[in-house]
Amino acid sequence: MKCLNNRADSHLTGQVECELNSVGKGGWVNQGYCGSPPPLPRAVSTIYNPQPLYQSSMDSMYKLDTLGPFSQPPEDLPSAEQSLVKKPRGCCSFVKGLWGTTLTENTSNNRELFVRTTIRELLIYVVFLVDICLLTYGMTSSSTYYYTKAMTDLFVNAAGAGGVSFQSIGTMSDFWTYTQGPLLDGLYWTKWYNNQSLDNGDQSFIYYENMLLGVPRVRQIKIKNNSCKIHKDFQNEITGCFDVYNEKKEDDLSFGLINGTAWTYHTEKELNGSAYWGLLATYTGAGYYQDLSRTKEESAAMLTELADNLWLDRGTRAVFIDFSTYNANINLFCVIRLVVEFLATGGAIPSYQIRTVRLIRYITHWDYFILGCEMVFCVFILYYIVEEILELRIHKLSYFNSIWNILDIVVILLALVAIIFNIFRTIKVDQLLDSLLVNPDIYADFEFLAFWQTQYNNMNAVNLFFAWIKVFKYISFNKTMNQLSSTLGRCAKDIMGFAIMFFIVFFAYAQLGYLLFGTEVQSFSTFVKCIFTQFRIILGDFDFDAIDRANRVLGPIYFVTYVFFVFFVLLNMFLAIINDTYSEVKEELSSQNDELHITDIIKQSYMKTFMKLKLKKEKISDVQKALRSGSGEIEFKDFRETLKEMGHSDQEISAAFSRFDRDKNQILDEEEQERMKIELKEKKDALSAELNNLGMNYEKELLEKPPAASNQQNNNSSQTFVDCDEFVRLSRQVLHLESSVAGITSKIELIMEELGLQVKTKGKEAAGKLSNHEPASDGSVLVCVDRGTKAEMSSRRPVVRNNSTFDSHM
């Protein structure tokens, strides 16, 4: 007995240790609990609050125990049974409940557990998805588009007195005409439309609403002379050579008047600039710059001086006009960059970039609501980080075999970058605005922040896209939803083989089109444009006349053969592969047995809750009948016999009677009976209301469902339908059987415990007699081993051991 007790004690100590600390290889290790799973609590069933051994997750939704004053277990129960009612919890059971997923629990052989766990994951993820949607859409506004459109119409599309707009700039002369006309007129608004002053001093409000921040800046990048090599036959006639833009050939020498920033080269670091990706090349943030003034007259004089002294020459490759505005009505910044690229061939190509961003975040009540959503978002990201760590620790490298796990990591990484940038942006904007308010006559460089804010918005858009795609992870267990993923997974190899053949033909035609039409057709002017143009031809968007004009013979041949091979042959082969695989997958899924789906779980939980309520209501009716059957005072034995005939267990009857027998005399007087009737009526009315909320017609609709519909759902299983009364009777018998078994089990365990105590007592007596060299009372022979360790070597009579007690701990 001593040895067995030591084993039991050591095992109880081991239950405290968490399995998360030791993960075995080669087998599934449930990381959700500490030690061995505890035995299921044996809930005590009463007349008013029956609790079956199996409780669904939907039971807690309705909180049935709060309907009456009978939620506590009876006081007269043995202490051992009261202790069994409490469910042991530990650190790892908390982890299992909070981070339990289909990858941290062994759901391979338990379809119902898999569906329930997936539903719980989906509900948590829906809350996360709502939160990230609020964050993403809370940072944008429909006013952003109209703000951008207003600035585009004013500075890009508007034409001056000479008819030159920014989009029509084709020469250096056109550029100066635009800057001294539409540009200055758009930048400086100091009067109303009736020439009345705005009374804002020298501060400009574009369209009367958008404040010009600081002063505009004009910057150019030049290329060195003789940066290209002239053929010897033209060296006498051509004295200067300016190559296409290249950073290594960028000119850094002072020129012209040499007495200002417009004539002196400044590095990218000195200007705190950044590179710009233009239509022809990628330009650095260095160059020669001129900051304009806060008044229109002074700025016009500066531009005239630059034009008169040939600030732009043959070496100029790009001119940038940068300025920023702020609209307090909608709390948006508009950072505008107008770019004119001068080609080595002569002429100019204008382009522009307008970024409308929200740099100041928290002003209105809605902004602070978004701040709260951001905090919730951070909590969710921390939650999912812990979840992925647990899953990675369990599955090791096999964790990366699932595309959904990789998608989880991508979403988390993007979210972490977004959080870090959000903090950086808030600090940087405050510093920039502080310096601008101290000296409003300097150039307000919001280009850097606007660029990264745009990338931040793009990253959030991609992250939201991935977050929506991840929903398929939680709904793919359904047969219908599984068809898409199964089809793509099965035909992946065929599609890869087809893709090789397709792109060989596709890129062959792209090179052919580039070489045939690249010199005349804009959509074929570069190889990249050829690729996109051919995709557009597949979709029916093409300009056949331009191809025909470029080459009257090879143009039609190229077009007809491309459409035939790519559109009619290859594209239809691609569709045939997917269609054939889809048909196979659909046929296989239709022939399989229906597994447990989410709708089945909801129906089962709904029906269990419905039947439990109905059985409780019937038991209350039985107690009311027992009360009405008696006259005057009711003794416990009469009360017990009446309810026993109706099928109630002794435990339920004792709990009901002792609840109202205040004086404990085993007799219910008239006052106690009246109080019992009142509480029974209140309980019954509450249950009736609950049944009405659940829907009384659900049971009828379920039972009236034609057998053919059920057979269609499960072709390989036979089902027997019973009427409602028979189903209620069977359910009631099952619950009574469970309560009876629970009572018998508790009594058996108590008997086994008493036997164990007796055996332990005999062992102590035998040990005492052994120390006195006396034979044991039962005739057993005891031998002393290893200095006092006593072991029973043989016995005439077997010792009864409490196997159930030890088995629960071993």
Cβ neighbours of residue 164 under 8 Å, at least 6 residues apart? 174, 177, 178, 181, 182
554-562 and 527-538 are packed helices; what angle lies between their axes, rounded to 10 degrees? Answer: 60
User: What is the Cα–Cα distance from 409 to 404, expressed in whole angstroms?
Assistant: 9
Cα–Cα distance for residue pair 319/311, rounded to 1 Å: 11
Give the whole-angstrom CA distance, residue 237 versus residue 232.
10
- Give kind and range of the element (H or E) at residue 790: strand 789-794
Residue type, 378: C
Distance from C-alpha of 737 to C-alpha of 585, rounded to nearest angstrom: 45
DSSP assignment of 24-38, as one string? -SSS----SSBSSPP
770: nearest Cα among 13, 613, 778: 778
How far is the C-alpha of 216 from the C-alpha of 115, rounded, in Å?
61
Following DSSP, what letter does each residue of 148-161 receive, concatenated?
A: HHHHHIIIII-B-T
Q: Measure the CA–CA gap between 783 and 84, rounded to whole angstroms.
A: 39
The count of C-alpha atoms lying within 13 angstroms of the C-alpha of 11, restricted to the half-sphere facing its C-beta, is 15
What is the identity of the amino acid at 733? Q
Closest CA to 102 of 380, 382, 391, 483: 391
Give me 246's structure tokens: 């290249």
Is 212:200 a contact under the CB 8 Å cutoff? no
Q: What is the largest CA-CA distance in the chain?
A: 135
- Say what angle helices 724-771 and 598-629 make with each other, to 10 degrees: 80
Closest of 364, 349, 371, 354 to residue 150, by C-alpha = 354
Instruction: Assess contact for 803 and 809: CB atoms under 8 A.
Output: no
Residue with tokens 């016009």, as numbered in its chain: 300
Alpha-carbon gap, residue 520 to 498, rounded angstroms = 33
Number of alpha carbons in the 13 Å side-chain half-sphere of residue 799: 20
**CA 26/CA 437 separation, integer angstroms:** 65
> Looking at this protein, which amino acid is placed at residue 657?
F
**Alpha-carbon span 648 to 46, nearest angstrom:** 9
Q: How many CA atoms lie within 13 A of 636 on its CB side?
A: 18
Per DSSP bridges, beta strands 348-357 and 789-794 are: unpaired
Say if residues 458 and 466 touch (Cβ distance below 8 Å): no
**Which positions make up the binding site?**
661, 663, 672
| Assigned token pair, 671 | 């006052």
Check if the beta carbon of residue 443 is closer than 8 Å to that of residue 217.
yes
479, with CB counted inside 10 A (0-12, 13-18, 19+), is middle
Query: Please, how many CA atoms are within 13 Å of residue 210, restricted to the half-sphere of its CB?
Result: 21
Structure tokens at 543: 């300009």
Annotated binding site for Ca(2+): 661, 663, 672
User: By the 8 A CB rule, do 182 and 161 touch?
Assistant: no
